[in-house]
């Protein structure tokens, strides 16, 4: 049987590996050993799994495989953000971003090659959806970089905010999250995992019933007409339906929903827009991430002035919202929010020649 036709163990949860080997006469506890090799040791072959009997390793090699994407290119921004281009087994490409923080790194992970949501301001969606990623292609963006880059061991947060709409690839994303948060997988706390969605309302409620992770909603407008123009998904799931799903999403303890708002000059950055946002979210336990639009060649929208962004924020703060200005890291290598497209980028002519102003927070979110 050709190797690529064999099942990939990185596409399986612990329970699925247990069932896979039990059906072939092996003890279930061996699955925990396999998971540790895959996610703790980064094993790329069965030969490396030295605490498994040699005949078992040989048998496994005939029944399954260990596949993961290859790193094709790495670009580094002036602010030390890194954008990684991965080549998938079928030749398609995706991108991940490593974002620097204080004594840690955040990895922004893609869940699809392309995207079919069609948000007008997002470069990723302009080429449409090529295909959804398998669980192994999602988790391997983390495991490969944990070992391939010196920053890898300092990855502390995972954000599913790269290429694609995570909830449009629900089953694979859910399985990947379970591997990421499994004690025998990558071992991340669910408090360190955030999923960003453009607003697939029924899937938000399903996610809340299936697993508990942080949720960020890309909002970008406080009225249906404007949001539908920017984000076609709003025509199917308008604000009332979206916010109903958000209210039903479980956020234990003091955790809050996050609403992401990309400010575009002359489109959604006025005082009136801010006041409408105040009214829209008034009964939700939430915080807001404000992100100035990141331009790219051919984009129809423009970056607002820092003055208008700050004025927008002040209206939210005066109404007792937590509203954080997120600095757009990696703009010069097209690694910022809305700029990923699965291709190696040249230095951006629209990026600032110096790091962002200190008036902006040093964290960021991708898209």
> Would you state the pLDDT for residue 276?
98
Those residues whose C-beta lies under 8 Å from the C-beta of residue 359, and which sit 6 or more positions away, are 306, 310, 325
- 3-state DSSP call for residue 86? strand
Q: Which of 95, 165, 260, 295 is catalytic?
A: 95
- Residue (of 68, 99, 98, 60) closest to 86 by Cα position: 68
Element (H, E) at 174: helix 170-181
Those residues whose C-beta lies under 8 Å from the C-beta of residue 91, and which sit 6 or more positions away, are none
Those residues whose C-beta lies under 8 Å from the C-beta of residue 251, and which sit 6 or more positions away, are 215, 257, 285
How far apart CA 358 and CA 20 sit, in angstroms, is: 53
Q: Kindly tell me if the per-residue pLDDT of 345 is higher than 60.
A: no
Q: Kindly tell me if the per-residue pLDDT of 349 is higher than 50.
A: no
Q: How far apart are the first and last CA of the chain?
A: 39
Q: Kindly tell me if the per-residue pLDDT of 43 is higher than 80.
A: yes
Q: Kindly tell me if the per-residue pLDDT of 341 is higher than 90.
A: no
- CA 251-254-255 angle, to 5 degrees, is 45
> Would you state the pLDDT for residue 327?
77
Instruction: Name the residue with higher pLDDT: 328 or 318.
Output: 318
Percent of the chain scored above 70 by pLDDT? 89
Beta bridge partners of 76: 82
Q: Kindly tell me if the per-residue pLDDT of 209 is higher than 90.
A: yes
Beta bridge partners of 215: 195
Q: Which of 108, 115, 246, 337 is catalytic?
A: 337
- 3-state DSSP call for residue 300? coil
Over residues 11-19, the mean pLDDT reads 97
Contact (CB, 8 A) for 313 and 325: yes
- Residue (of 172, 224, 178) closest to 199 by Cα position: 224
Q: Is 122 a catalytic residue?
A: no
- Residue (of 257, 173, 161, 247) closest to 210 by Cα position: 173
Q: Is 246 a catalytic residue?
A: no
| pTM of the model as a whole | 0.91
> Would you state the pLDDT for residue 297?
83
- How sure is the predictor about 357, in pLDDT bands with cuts at 50, 70 and 90? very low
Task: Tokens for 196, please give them.
Answer: 């960003």
> Would you state the pLDDT for residue 334?
66
Q: What DSSP character marks residue 329?
A: T
Q: What domains, with CATH codes, occur in the chain?
A: 3-63 (1.10.150.530), 70-333 (3.20.20.70)
- How sure is the predictor about 364, in pLDDT bands with cuts at 50, 70 and 90? very low
């Amino acid at each position: 049987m050709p190797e690529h036709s064999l099942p990939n163990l990185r596409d399986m949860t612990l329970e699925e590996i247990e069932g896979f080997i039990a059906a072939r006469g092996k003890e279930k506890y061996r699955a925990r050993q396999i998971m540790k090799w895959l996610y703790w040791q980064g094993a790329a072959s069965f030969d490396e799994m030295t605490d498994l009997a040699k005949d078992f390793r040989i048998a496994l090699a005939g029944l399954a495989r260990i596949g993961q994407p290859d790193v094709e290119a790495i670009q580094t921004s002036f602010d030390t953000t890194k954008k990684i281009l991965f080549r998938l087994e079928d030749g398609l490409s995706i991108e991940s971003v490593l974002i620097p923080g204080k004594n840690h790194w955040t990895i922004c992970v893609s869940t699809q090659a392309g995207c079919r949501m069609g948000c007008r301001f997002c470069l990723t969606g302009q080429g449409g959806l090529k295909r959804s990623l398998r669980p192994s292609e999602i988790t391997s963006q983390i495991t490969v970089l944990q070992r391939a880059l010196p920053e890898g061991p300092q990855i502390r947060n995972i954000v599913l905010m790269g290429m694609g709409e995570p909830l449009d690839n629900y089953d694979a994303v859910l399985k990947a999250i379970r591997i990421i948060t499994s004690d025998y997988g990558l071992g991340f706390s669910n408090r360190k995992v955030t999923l960003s969605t453009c607003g697939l309302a029924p899937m938000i409620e399903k996610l809340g019933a299936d697993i508990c992770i942080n949720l960020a909603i890309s909002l970008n407008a406080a009225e249906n007409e404007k949001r539908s123009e920017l984000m076609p998904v709003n025509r199917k799931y308008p604000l009332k339906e979206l916010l109903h799903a958000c209210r039903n999403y479980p956020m234990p303890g003091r955790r809050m929903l996050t609403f992401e708002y990309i400010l575009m000059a002359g489109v959604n950055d006025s005082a009136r827009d801010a006041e409408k946002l105040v009214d829209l979210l008034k009964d939700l336990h939430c915080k807001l991430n404000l992100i100035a639009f990141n331009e790219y060649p051919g984009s129809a929208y423009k970056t607002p002035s820092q003055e208008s962004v700050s004025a927008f924020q002040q209206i939210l703060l005066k109404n007792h919202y937590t509203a954080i200005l997120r600095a757009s890291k990696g703009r010069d290598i097209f690694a910022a929010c809305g700029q990923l497209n699965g291709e190696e980028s040249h230095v951006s002519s629209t990026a600032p020649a110096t790091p962002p102003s200190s008036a902006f927070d040093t964290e960021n979110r991708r898209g």
